[in-house]
């Protein structure tokens, strides 16, 4: 299997607390993405990275920040978690632009109470 891991797999946190999710890849791929998946909405892009320290916003970026200090790691931070951020979060990697497919991690189920 492709080398992409997400941690933690499950997390319960309280409203107002900061939360960081980690995505780690061993494929040396340039592009990394964070998506959230919610019933009725499908997968929606939060942020993405096209290189070390190069990141940009997706369609649902409010309340989230990201960092990529190394090729292999892409961190997603919820600055102050809200109940609307309860979701399943997926990280994905891609070798490049064009027709490259994405390889997804197994996801992190986050519950904000």
Partner 1 sequence: TQLLEQSPQFLSIQEGENLTVYCNSSSVFSSLQWYRQEPGEGPVLLVTVVTGGEVKKLKRLTFQFGDARKDSSLHITAAQPGDTGLYLCAGKTGANNLFFGTGTRLTVIP
- Residue 113 Cβ vs partner 1, minimum distance, rounded to whole Å: 21
Q: Is 22 in the site for partner 1 (CB under 8 A)?
A: no
Distances (CA, A) of 37 to 46, 52, 90, 107: 10, 25, 8, 9
Q: Is 74 in the site for partner 1 (CB under 8 A)?
A: no
Q: Is 50 in the site for partner 1 (CB under 8 A)?
A: yes
What the block records as the tokens of 109 is 């189920």
d(CA 11, CA 54): 27
Q: Binding residues for partner 1, per CB under 8 A?
A: 31, 33, 35, 40-45, 48, 50, 58-59, 90, 92, 94, 96-99, 101-107
């Amino acid at each position: 299997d492709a080398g992409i891991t997400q941690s933690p797999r499950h997390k319960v946190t309280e409203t107002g607390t900061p939360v960081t999710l980690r995505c780690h890849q061993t494929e040396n791929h340039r592009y990394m993405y964070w998506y959230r998946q919610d019933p009725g909405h499908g997968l929606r892009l939060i942020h993405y990275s096209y290189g070390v320290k190069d990141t940009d916003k997706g369609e649902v970026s409010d309340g989230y920040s990201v960092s990529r200090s190394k090729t292999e790691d892409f961190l997603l931070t919820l600055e102050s978690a809200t109940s609307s951020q309860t979701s399943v979060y997926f990280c994905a990697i891609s070798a490049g632009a064009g027709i490259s497919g994405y390889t997804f991690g197994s996801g992190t189920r986050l519950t904000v109470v």
